[in-house]
Amino acid sequence: MRRVLSSATLALAIAGCTVGPDYRPPAPAALAVPAGYSVPGAPTATDLTQWWRRFDDPVLGQLVEQASAANTDVAQAIARLRQAREALVQSRADLLPSVTASTGYSRSETLRGGGQTITLPDGTVQNIGGGGGANNFSIGGSASYQLGLFGEVRRTIEASRAQYEASGFDYAAALLTVQQEVARNYVLARLYQAQLANARASLALQEDNLEIAGFRLQAGLVSSLDQEQARQQRAQTAATIPTLEQQYNAAVSRIGVLTAQAPGALKPLLAPPRPIPTGAPPPGIGIPADVLRQRPDVRAAERALAAATAQIGVAQAALYPNFTFSGNIDARANAVGSLLDTVTGGLFAGLTQAIFNGGRLRSQVRGQEAAADAALAAYKGTVLTALEDVENAVVALDTAQRRERELTIAYEAAGNAALLSREQYRTGLSDFTTLSQQEAALLTSRNSAAQARADEATALVQLFAALGGGWDSTTVPTAPPRAAAAPTLVQPAPTPSPLPEVNP
């Protein structure tokens, strides 16, 4: 027993030895993060947690918040987050011993033959035929504990914790994607409503022109060419309406599915026409290093790198000895009252070491090192893609704003030209070809101006998403109870690093 205790003391003394690299987040310079963007942008501290409120459209806000709470992709991300939490709980259980208990009862009966032997007072031994029954009771327990001498248990917990946090950031990324999709389809729905209104307004004018051409034809003022041109123009405009209706229906159906409802559930809500939403852009886009903190997909990639680094230590620990404690206690008796009269027990301490395995264990280490290299490359790629998203969104918003200004001027000019052409045609000062061209240009200008407003709104949504808006980047999502609808958010420990530190 003294030798066993001495071995245990020695094992505990060296249990603090943890093999494998200690994780440190890569510096921004190692990720090729520049000091500033190549497009104009100033530092900003604007809160973009609920960026959809900047559009001042209550219907849009209602839909985004409803999708955030009920979307099926978000629900799947929450379930994966809960799974990752339970994996962490299971990893932590390895720090504690495993204890089991058992109890049993049996009875034996002689069914044929056999007998029992008795000794009479005079010393005579006599065999009595027939059987007899016997009871047997038992109770026992066992315990075992695997001591991670070289940190395999702690590294496993470190990896599980990083994977749990990565799942939380994956949830946040899914949430942002859903919010962006709802807003984008909402803008499309309002755009198609505007274009439908434009087409119907032009159709009404063209029907009026067809009637005027018919009157002038009857009066002998024009040939039938004017009437046929009017019919052609009216039919072409009418043909665009079914296409726009189909596109509008697709956008509304998509919003319904994103909010976890039937495709047609939101048609009554969206049927009343509303203008294309216009929002207030942020005063600046900050600096590129902000992306490392604000984008959940970037933070998820960083946590995946931390998990892959910890797995290297798990693989390396398999190269070293493994120490295990086990013990058991047992009691057996023919009656319950005498069950504890005789109790036996045992204690075992074992040390195992891999001697030969054909290089499998060292290959596993190299494989985990390759996985960490891949995770680092994926992290760097995610960072660069995030920076690309920001710059593209800034340029898209700027060009949409400039296009919208010019197309508004073009729309006003086209409206004036169409009005003049209509008046001149009524008085016979212009032919129908000129009127047809001006009214076609008016419809095109109306639709182009509406498209430019929609492009501006879409680019602004894209910018909010690229900047990591839609969640609180100062928090770390944690798994909710099963009955809860969404993860809770906890404050991370303060750290001077631009990336979140995770203590194993």
pLDDT tens, residue order, the chain (504 aa)? 454 444 444 444 444 578 989 999 999 888 988 888 888 765 565 788 999 999 989 999 999 999 999 999 999 999 999 999 999 999 999 888 899 999 988 887 766 665 556 565 555 565 555 556 678 888 999 999 888 888 888 999 999 999 999 999 999 999 999 999 999 999 999 999 999 998 898 888 878 777 777 776 777 766 677 777 778 878 888 898 999 999 999 999 999 999 999 999 999 999 999 999 998 888 878 888 888 889 999 999 999 999 999 999 999 998 998 888 899 999 888 777 777 777 888 888 888 888 888 899 999 999 999 999 999 999 999 999 999 999 999 999 999 999 999 998 988 888 888 888 878 877 777 777 777 778 788 888 888 899 999 999 999 999 999 999 999 888 889 888 765 556 765 554 443 333 333 332
Give me the amino acid identity at 238.
A
Q: 477: exposed, middle or buried (C-beta count within 10 Å: 0-12, 13-18, 19+)?
A: buried
Chain centroid to Cα 49, Å, comes to 16
Structure tokens at 363: 């290959």
Both tokens of residue 227? 């009437």
395: left (phi over 0), alpha (psi -120 to 50) or beta: alpha
Cβ–Cβ < 8 Å for 74, 175: yes
pLDDT for res 164: 95
CA pair distance 370, 363, nearest whole angstrom: 10
Widest Cα–Cα separation across the chain: 153
User: Three-state SS for 134?
Assistant: strand
Strand order in the sheet with 133-147: 98-109, 133-147, 322-333, 343-352
Phi and psi at residue 350, in whole multiples of 5°? -130, 145
Give the pLDDT of residue 127: 59
Which residues, at least 6 apart from 223, have a Cβ–Cβ distance to it below 8 Å? 217
Calculate the CA 3 to chain-centre distance.
Answer: 53
Q: Distance of CA 160 to CAs 152, 171, 205, 454, Å?
A: 12, 16, 67, 44
At 374, list the tokens: 């891949």
DSSP assignments along 392-450, one per residue: HHHHHHHHHHHHHHHHHHHHHHHHHHHHHHHHHHHTTSS-HHHHHHHHHHHHHHHHHHH
Res 72: pLDDT: 94
Angle at 397 between CA 391 and CA 402, to 5 degrees: 130
449 burial (CB, 10 Å; 0-12 / 13-18 / 19+) is: buried
Backbone angles phi, psi at 121, to 5 degrees: -60, -30
Q: How many CB atoms lie within 10 A of CB 323?
A: 21
SS3 of the chain: helix, strand, coil, percent, to 5? 60, 15, 30
List of residues 6+ apart from 180 with CB closer than 8 A:
461, 462, 464, 465, 470
